[in-house]
Amino acid sequence: MPLDTPQFRPPPEPVAFTPNPAAELPRHADVVVVGAGMLGASAAYRLALAGLRPLVIEANAPASGASGRLAGMALAGLGGHFPRVTALVHEAGARSILDYTCRSLDLLEELDATLPGGIEWDRSGSLDLLMTEGELARGKAMAAAQNAEGLDARIIDRDELRDRCAALDTSGVLAAKWTARDGKLNPFRLVYGLLDAATRSGARVVTGVRVERLVTAGGRVTGVATSAGTVETDAVLLATNAWTPALVDWVGANLTPIREHVLVTEQVPPLFDPGIETNSCNEYWRQMRTGEVLIGGYAVADEGMGIGSYSMRVRPSLPPMLAGLLIRLHPALRDVRVVRAWAGLLDFASLEVPMVGALPDEDGRPMPGGYLACGFTGHGLPYAPVMGLLLSELITSGSSRTLPLEPFDPARYAGVVHQPTWLEPFESHA
């Protein structure tokens, strides 16, 4: 299949929703957060702790988007995106992307301890299985690049792999990259825990209401027009993932929705040690504390490789492929039943580095009152906690004190079309 540009910029689609006739919106809010996924929830939580009373407007239910459809792995090294994101972060004058992603993982650990009921956080470490000579070479290069930035990642041979994971059939595996810092969690607990805590501190969450457009006056954002009326505010944060181009058209030139599937088994006894395994980060699987095994990926086998799709319908050919990979590597799961499958949308930023910060217009000029957070390129968990914190600092004080947001400045994407740098795993299947 040719990888030509039109599929990278599908016509923007607003998120589908069923209006809530009982929803009531205030006429004015301190700050409006659009979207109740992990980013919107993290930002609302931090804004409420900072003393504002954020209004979160969600078209569907919290975590109904990607944040309730992910596998739940928090990878500090960002899979295959690490080298290119690292280069851009350095170019922008910041120390290391690990300052952001490792901070997120530490914040997740803190949230597990502080949110009532926790978030099922396990600092399990992750294993990236390397099955071909090409994957082995890339795995070694990646470990070296991550070590150079200060991440403890190393290649382990088949003998060590066998000792670590008795249940894994290592016959088709050459080696693995082991990253001790990585962790996993239950994303529903994260999103709902953050929103509950934000609500206790003065936030309000309204569901079944879609923001239809930003309201502007005199070159600044002054509110949102929604399916349930208009809200005036001094600040609007768009935490709207792949649906962002429906609200800010220019973003679509550098933000592509990509559909990916996840399959879930019935509960089985503990099988994985460590808790996360990936296949060159293209496919990934982990076990929940409650015993279910989740496996996701195979976008390359989807129609059009899932690139440019806003549809979240499950394509019937995908779940058997995911189940086949799982059984091949974990034969003990051969007779286990599959209980669910779903699809969700990744939002790939053309240069792989997310768009987080003050919202510019399409010419890159500031639009005071507007803020943007999207383009997490398949890695919401190592970004959302720290970005929620930095955005709340930006919104409340005019700058992010904890870490600079310059590397993620959305202005790098305004008024230009960057050729995607994320094509490599797709190209080999084209």
Region 260-279 residues binding ligand FAD, contact defined as CB under 6 A: 260, 262
As measured in angstroms, the least distance from the Cβ of 356 to ligand FAD is 10
Residues in region 74-93 near ligand FAD by CB under 6 A: 74
Q: How far is the first Cα of the chain from the last one, in angstroms, to the nearest whole number?
A: 5
Q: Is 40 in the site for ligand FAD (CB under 6 A)?
A: yes
Site for ligand FAD in 326-345 (CB under 6 A): 344-345
Q: Is 306 in the site for ligand FAD (CB under 6 A)?
A: no
Question: Given candidates 8, 12, 29, 35, which one binds ligand FAD under the rule CB under 6 A?
Answer: 35
CA pair distance 64, 344, nearest whole angstrom: 9
Are 98 and 412 in contact by the 8 Å Cβ rule? The answer is: no
239 binds ligand FAD (CB under 6 A): yes
Going residue by residue from 103 to 122, which x/- string records binding to ligand FAD, judged by CB under 6 A?
A: --------------------
CA distance 108 to 124: 13
Q: Would you mind telling me the total number of residues written for the chain in this entry?
A: 430
Between residues 198 and 346, which has the closer beta carbon with respect to ligand FAD?
A: 346
374 contacts 354 by C-beta, under 8 angstroms: yes
Minimum separation from the CB atom of position 310 to ligand FAD (A): 11
Question: How much of the chain is in helix, strand and coil states, percent to nearest 5?
Answer: 35, 25, 40
Residue 12 in contact with ligand FAD, rule: CB under 6 A? no
Name all contacts of 304-307 with Cβ < 8 Å and 24+ positions apart. Answer: 304/1, 304/7, 305/1, 305/258, 305/426, 305/429, 305/430, 306/258, 306/259, 306/260, 307/3, 307/7, 307/8, 307/256, 307/258, 307/426
Binds ligand FAD (CB under 6 A): choice among 43, 45, 48, 65: 65
CB of 30 to ligand FAD, least distance (A): 18
Q: Please enumerate in sequence order all residues whose Cβ is within 8 A of that of 3, keeping only pairs 6 or more positions apart, or say none.
A: 307, 423, 426, 427, 430
Position among 30, 58, 196, 409 found at the interface with ligand FAD (CB under 6 A): 58
Tell me the C-alpha distance between 171 and 353, whole Å.
Answer: 36
Residue closer to ligand FAD, measured from CB, 197 or 247: 247
By the rule CB under 6 A, 378 interacts with ligand FAD: yes
Which positions lie near ligand FAD, rule CB under 6 A? 14-15, 34-40, 57-60, 64-67, 69-74, 210-211, 239-241, 243, 247, 260, 262, 296, 344-346, 376, 378-382, 384
